[in-house]
Amino acid sequence: MSVSWQDEIRWTDDGLVPVIAQQAETGKVLMFAWMNRESLDLTVSEGYAVYWSRSRGRLWRKGEESGNRQKILGIFLDCDEDVILLKIEQEGGIACHTGRESCFYRSLVNGQWQTVEPVLKDPEAIYRKS
């Protein structure tokens, strides 16, 4: 029996691997999330990012509510085999649930976190009410 490409990944004890989503065109890091084997398989087969939501305890197709899906252009494994980098095309230009391009919108300036990216769309207008 041959070794699966997924077996080369160093999964955490709870079966997850950290994932960084990077805008392929600009190189900008948009978000960090987690994947399990199933979400990684779905990402590969569907061509769009599917993550494992630890807070929801379920699979999470990025953009399932907002429509801001992440089209996969490349999947990379780091040298330690314990982090995945997704090179993506961010549909809608918004990766963050706060309505910003990137989840990394705060910068440490003089010992304080300061917002350095604008809200592009009000989250109330992006997400359905449960």
Write out pLDDT tens, residues 44-101. 999 999 999 999 999 999 999 889 999 999 999 999 999 999 999 999 999 999 999 9
Supply the CATH number for residue 82's domain: 3.10.20.810
Number of folded domains in the chain? Answer: 1
Retrieve residue 97's tokens: 């649930």
Retrieve residue 99's tokens: 């309505």
| Residue 20 CB partners (closer than 8 Å, separation 6+) | 29, 31, 32, 83, 84, 85, 86
Say whether 67 sits in a helix, a strand or coil: coil
Whether the pTM exceeds 0.85: the reply is yes
Write out pLDDT tens, residues 4-31. 999 999 999 999 999 999 999 999 999 9
Q: Which domain holds residue 67?
A: 5-126
